[in-house]
Structures are given as structure tokens and as C-alpha cells.
């Protein structure tokens, strides 16, 4: 599913109006009716007739709210309408819908001049429903004056809140909340989801997001060159690798995982196990020679490869020749989990990586070592010949780019896309709503996962999953997208049994099979 900026959404709607001939008031009708239907659906769940408060701004978002009022009144719902502007400020379709609503002679239609927030606060009950139709995609900066006061009030009131298109007070493109913002239980976003809804931590203001069809022609939406998309269950299901009945293990790739150091063998174990559970035909773990016995005990189905070390647990630069020779029979190279950041490791990567020709997934200390290399060789990543996936968390991204974590978190989508182009590789910027960016400008935003996954080793698991999918023949961009989806979905399943605080990386591996089976059964 495509994710749009405010400008892209406006262009889509204008094309629907001007080229297809759909009147703008029809688009508003579909949007507003969806708000009313959501309220009635929630009432049906509780099997009661609740009051609905509708807060109306002066833009098209307010017009959506006015359409909702009409449908609710026609369904005999008790409605309270709060107009946060002078009626003369309304324009176009919003004005038309206001005149219709005014002709309904509502018992409760409060205008701006009569607004008493204190009295309203006492009047709204905890079981009332509230429609927030104050600001839409055109909002920027900070809600001020009476709008700001009402939004601040709504952000603390107890009734269930449904926001129209996005919560009032949130910017559509950046997702920034610079002042008061409605905390919605549900956000019904019209036509397509908006980019800012997936910027954390402010995405929490959206509550549960539902995308509403407003009758934009499918062919028109598909014709627009929109680079950003959501990774949905439907997309994941359609991309899951299939297996032939007459296949054998050699058909599903040989993943070579290289990493580990003293005290950090667990990272290689997690990546290797994750690769195996994710469908890899063969997995070999390459570790400093003194650590091989440990891995032989921890791993059963995974093969091990001892590699030269300069001292116990630290890779030697001479390991490069052996690794490159082994890669001749491997399908994909997963590098970095638990590797450590010794100078010898930096020298190893500096010499070896430009000679690799099979796809690579670089994670953890592999990224930290590359960050050191690029201080001296700024074009190092561009010189690599193999298809490449980098999987940094924000701290690792900061080291790779020289940009602060705070700035990265402010602009995750654009920065991931910028550096994917600059480095010529796929960038998986981990975190809530993980970003997967391709060098050609395409971006995917993940929709699975939860805070329970914020624990040691989950990144190693993700690297193994992506490596396994590449080994099974997937393009690196698609493998990265499917990998983050399956990883997050396994985390969601794990939380159901372990709780948010107790999930471990091993639990995610344990539930990868559930995630894969769920996707397979949906195909």
C-alpha cells in the first residue's frame, strides 16, 4: 500500500476531480460517511446508543465531519456539533455541507462565539464518542488560540476519539507534534495513509489506523509514481518463497555467518539459528578458531568454520583469504554479529569486502567497523561490488553518517533513502516502523513489531532472516522487506505468550515458524 505526503494526496485528489470527473463533494461524502459508520460500529459493539460530539474546523477536514453529522442524525444518533470557526469562513464543499446540517435544526449546534470549554468539559461523558475534524493534511506548526485550547482539552478527555484523516495537531508529512495534539483511539485516514503517521514516538497519537476508501480510482492511484509503501500482510504473503516438491537443501541457499568474539558468541548463534528457521538450506557459522568448540556445543544443525585469530576470540586480518575461498560455495554472506571492533577486524573488512561478489548482509559490529573505515575511505561502500544490505539501529546509523541520533529519528524515511542512494545499497533503519530503503528511491515502512522486541540479540535474528531469504533467491530489497515483516510478526506472536517485558531474541526465533506458517496459510 502506498504512503503519501500531503502534496501527493492533494495531487491524487485533483487528478480524480479534473481528469476522472469525480466531484470533490463525492470524495468528501465518502470520507464523512466512513466517520459516521465507525461511530455506529463502535456503538453496535457496546450494544448501546451513545452521544457523538463532532468538532469542526474551517477546512475540508471540517467538511468531512459535517457529512458525518448528517449520517449520524439520519441514524437517530444524538449528536453535538462544535463549530470552531465563523460560518462565513467555510468555503466550497464544507460550506455546502454546513448549510445542509444547519437546515437539520439540531438541538446542539455550538458556534465559536458561544463556546464554553469549561461547560463542555462537564457535559462530555466518559462513554461519549468524539469525532476530531479540526485540522487535516494542510496543518503545520502549532495549534494556537481556541483551536489549541480545544485540542488540548480533547487530548485529555475520557471519551473515545476518532480522528478524521490524522489527529489534529500532527503534521502530515513529518509527523511532528509541536504543541497540543489530539490523542486518538482511531484514525480514519482517507484514500491512502500519510507519511507522518509512521514517525515515532508521535505515531502513538494516531491510535489504531484504518485506511478508508473514498472512491479514488485504483488505476489512478497505481499510475502515480509514489516511492513509499507499507509492508503489509498482503504484500508479505505474496512474496514468501515457495518450495517445489522435488527440491533439496541445495536449492535454498547456503548462508555463511561470520562474527563472534570473546563473550559475544551468542550473536552468531542467534543469526545462524534464525537463518536456518527462515528456510536456508545450509548455514555455516565462521568464528575465531578458539570459539569453535563453544559453537559446536550450542549449535546442532549449523556447521562451523574456524577462522584465524590474532589472539583468543579476535579475528586476524589473514582470515580474509579463507573467508573469500569459502564464499565461493556460499549463496549469501552475513557479517558482523558479535564480531567486536578490534583494529584487526577493521583491516580484515577493509581488504576483504571489495573482493566479495555474493550478496552481503552487514549488521552490528560489521557496521561499526565500516564506520571506522569510511572515516578514511569515504567512498568505501560505493566501491563494493556485491549486492549489499546494511541493518543499522539509530546509534549505528549515527556512526555511519556522522549525524546525531536525534536528527536521524526526526527524519528517518528521508535519511534512510538519502544514504541508500549515496552508498548504493539497501538500508534497513531499525526501530519502531523499521524503514527499508533502496538505492533507486523506493522506500518501504514496516507495520509489524512492538516494544517487547527492544532487547539484546533481536538485530542478530533479523540479519539471519534476511540472509536466509536472499539465499532462497529473493532480490535484496524484497528480502529485507519480507525479513523485517516476519521478524516483527514473530515478535508480536511472542508477546502474546511471554508478555511485553519478557520476550527474548530466542523467543522470536521460536515463533518465526508461526510467522511463516501464518503467511503461507494466507497465500
CATH number of 6-226: 3.40.50.10260
**Assigned C-alpha cell, 162:** 476518532
Whether 6-226 shares its CATH topology with 235-240+250-522 is answered: no
**Assigned C-alpha cell, 495:** 508477546
d(CA 477, CA 7): 26
CA proximity to 343, closest of 360, 324, 365:
365
Question: How many CB atoms are closer than 10 A to CB 385?
Answer: 10
Q: Does domain 235-240+250-522 have CATH number 3.40.1190.20?
A: yes
Domain boundaries, the chain: 6-226, 235-240+250-522
Name the CA dihedral angle for 297, 300, 305, 310, rounded to a multiple of 10 degrees.
Answer: -20
pLDDT for res 487: 98
User: Is the bond into 201 cis (omega within 30 degrees of 0)?
Assistant: yes
pTM of the model: 0.93
CA proximity to 258, closest of 165, 366, 153, 158:
366
In whole angstroms, how far apart are CA 215 and each of 20, 53, 58, 168, 212? 11, 26, 23, 24, 9
CA atoms within 13 A on the CB side of 221: 17
d(CA 177, CA 175): 7
**Per-residue confidence in pLDDT tens, the chain, 523 aa:** 999 999 999 999 999 999 999 999 999 999 999 999 999 999 999 877 789 999 999 999 999 999 999 999 999 999 999 999 999 999 999 999 999 999 887 777 877 777 788 877 788 888 899 999 999 999 998 999 989 999 999 988 778 999 999 999 999 999 999 999 999 999 999 999 999 999 888 899 999 999 999 999 999 999 999 999 999 999 999 999 999 899 999 999 999 999 999 999 999 999 999 999 999 999 999 999 999 999 999 999 999 999 999 998 899 999 999 999 999 999 999 999 999 999 999 999 999 999 999 999 999 999 999 999 999 999 999 999 999 999 999 999 999 999 999 999 999 999 999 999 999 999 999 999 999 999 999 999 999 999 999 999 999 999 999 999 999 999 999 999 999 999 999 999 999 999 999 999 999 999 999 999 887 654 4
DSSP per-residue codes, 310-331: EETTEE-TTHHHHHHHHHTT-S
pLDDT for res 520: 63
pLDDT for res 521: 54
Longest dimension (CA), the chain: 85
pLDDT for res 523: 42
Residues 260/284, Cβ–Cβ less than 8 Å:
no
Amino acid at each position: 500500500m502506498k504512503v503519501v505526503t500531503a502534496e501527493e494526496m492533494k495531487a491524487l485528489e485533483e487528478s480524480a476531480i479534473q481528469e476522472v470527473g469525480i466531484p470533490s463533494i463525492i470524495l468528501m461524502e465518502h470520507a464523512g460517511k466512513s466517520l459516521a459508520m465507525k461511530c455506529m460500529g463502535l456503538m453496535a459493539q457496546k450494544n448501546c446508543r451513545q452521544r457523538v460530539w463532532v468538532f469542526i474546523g474551517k477546512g475540508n477536514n471540517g467538511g468531512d465531519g459535517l457529512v458525518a453529522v448528517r449520517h449520524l442524525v439520519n441514524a437517530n444518533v444524538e449528536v453535538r456539533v462544535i463549530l470552531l470557526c465563523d460560518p462565513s469562513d467555510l468555503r466550497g464543499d464544507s460550506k455546502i455541507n454546513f448549510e445542509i446540517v444547519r437546515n437539520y435544526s439540531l438541538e446542539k449546534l455550538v458556534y465559536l462565539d458561544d463556546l464554553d470549554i469549561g461547560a463542555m468539559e462537564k457535559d462530555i461523558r466518559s462513554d461519549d464518542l468524539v469525532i476530531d475534524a479540526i485540522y487535516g493534511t494542510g496543518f503545520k506548526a502549532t495549534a494556537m488560540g481556541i483551536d489549541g485550547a480545544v485540542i488540548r482539552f480533547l487530548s485529555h478527555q475520557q471519551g473515545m476519539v476518532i480522528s478524521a484523516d490524522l489527529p489534529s495537531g500532527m503534521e502530515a508529512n513529518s509527523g511532528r507534534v509541536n504543541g497540543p495534539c489530539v490523542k486518538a483511539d482511531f484514525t480514519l485516514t482517507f484514500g491512502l495513509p500519510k507519511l507522518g503517521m509512521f514517525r515515532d514516538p508521535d505515531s502513538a497519537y494516531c491510535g489504531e489506523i484504518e485506511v478508508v476508501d473514498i472512491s479514488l480510482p485504483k488505476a489512478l492511484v497505481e499510475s502515480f509514481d509514489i516511492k513509499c509503501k507499507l509492508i503489509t500482510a498482503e504484500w508479505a504473503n505474496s512474496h514468501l518463497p515457495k518450495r517445489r516438491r522435488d527440491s533439496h537443501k541445495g536449492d535454498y541457499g547456503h548462508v555463511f555467518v561470520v562474527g563472534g568474539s570473546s563473550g559475544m558468541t551468542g550473536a552468531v548463534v542467534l543469526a545462524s539459528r534464525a537463518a536456518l528457521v527462515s528456510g536456508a538450506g545450509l548455514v555455516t557459522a565462521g568464528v575465531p578458531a578458539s570459539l569453535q568448540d563453544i559453537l559446536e556445543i550450542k549449535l546442532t544443525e549449523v556447521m562451523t568454520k574456524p577462522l584465524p585469530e590474532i589472539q583468543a576470540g579476535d579475528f586476524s586480518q589473514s582470515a580474509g583469504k579463507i573467508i573469500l575461498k569459502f564464499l565461493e560455495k556460499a549463496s549469501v554472506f552475513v557479517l558482523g554479529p558479535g564480531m567486536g571492533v578490534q583494529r584487526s577486524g577493521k583491516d580484515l573488512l577493509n581488504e576483504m569486502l571489495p573482493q566479495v561478489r555474493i550478496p552481503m548482509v552487514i549488521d552490528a559490529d560489521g557496521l561499526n567497523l565500516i564506520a571506522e573505515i569510511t572515516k578514511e575511505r569515504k567512498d568505501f561502500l560505493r566501491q563494493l561490488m556485491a549486492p549489499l544490505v546494511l541493518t543499522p539501529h539509530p546509534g549505528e546509523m549515527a556512526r555511519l553518517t556522522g549525524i546525531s541520533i536525534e536528527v536521524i529519528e526526526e527524519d528517518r524515511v528521508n535519511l534512510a533513502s538519502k544514504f541508500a542512494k549515496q552508498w548504493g545499497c539497501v538500508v534497513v533503519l531499525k526501530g519502531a516502523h523499521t524503514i527499508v530503503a533502496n538505492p533507486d528511491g523506493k522506500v518501504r515502512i514496516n507495520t509489524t513489531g512492538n516494544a517487547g522486541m527492544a532487547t539484546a540479540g533481536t538485530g542478530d535474528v533479523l540479519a539471519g532472516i534476511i540472509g536466509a531469504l536472499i539465499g532462497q533467491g529473493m532480490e535484496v530489497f524484497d528480502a529485507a522487506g519480507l525479513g523485517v515483516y516476519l521478524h516483527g510478526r514473530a515478535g508480536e506472536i511472542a508477546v502474546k505468550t511471554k508478555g511485553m517485558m519478557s520476550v527474548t531474541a530466542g523467543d522470536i526465533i521460536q515463533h518465526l515458524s508461526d510467522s511463516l506458517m501464518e503467511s503461507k496459510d494466507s497465500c
